[in-house]
Amino acid sequence: MTVQFRDDDTQQTAQSYALGYDALMRDDYAAAIDAFYAVVTCDPTSRVGWLGLGVSLRCNCTFETAQQVFALLLSRNPHDLDALIYRAETLLQSGDMAQARACLQRAISLLGHRAAHRLQPMIDDLNAQLSLAGLRA
């Protein structure tokens, strides 16, 4: 019976993740937050569930809670590039330029010389935003 319960949990987690992803793509951030919260409630170790929750919270302008989610991910894996980039974006959106720059620099140093990394466009965009913000200051 325990195996069936785990299968049900896995299926529920996958369904909740799919609902969260779909809601996020439709800009329905409240629904995405609910769905990703269900994912991490079912599986507190789900990195993608926590990332989805953090991104949904950031898109919903719930910056402080999003920061807590990304901090949790980085406490589990300090080399999580996704969490670093999303944390930098959240810091920028909440007006903390110094911390956003620090996160971005850490991500760039972790990336090293990998020119074609999937996160490179986000890093370039974030770098440009921080440069513009520095000019306005």
Residues 54, 67 within the same domain: no
pLDDT of residue 56: 98
Residues 48, 87 within the same domain: no
Amino acid (one-letter) located at 132: L
Residues 66, 129 within the same domain: yes
Measured distance CA(121)–CA(118) in Å, rounded? 7
Domain that holds residue 94: 62-137
Residues 35, 86 within the same domain: no
pLDDT of residue 25: 96
Residues 27, 79 within the same domain: no
Number of domains in the chain: 2
For the question of whether the overall pTM of this predicted structure is more than 0.85, the answer is no
pLDDT of residue 129: 83
Residues 50, 86 within the same domain: no
DSSP annotation string for 88-132: HHHHHHTT-HHHHHHHHHHHHHHHTT-TT-TTHHHHHHHHHHHHH
Residues 19, 50 within the same domain: yes
pLDDT of residue 50: 98
* Series of mean pLDDT values for 10-residue runs along the chain (137 residues): 55 92 97 97 95 97 96 95 94 92 89 71 83 61
Residues 54, 68 within the same domain: no
pLDDT of residue 18: 95
Residues 71, 53 within the same domain: no
Residues 47, 70 within the same domain: no
Residues 127, 93 within the same domain: yes
Q: What is the CATH number of the domain that holds 78?
A: 1.25.40
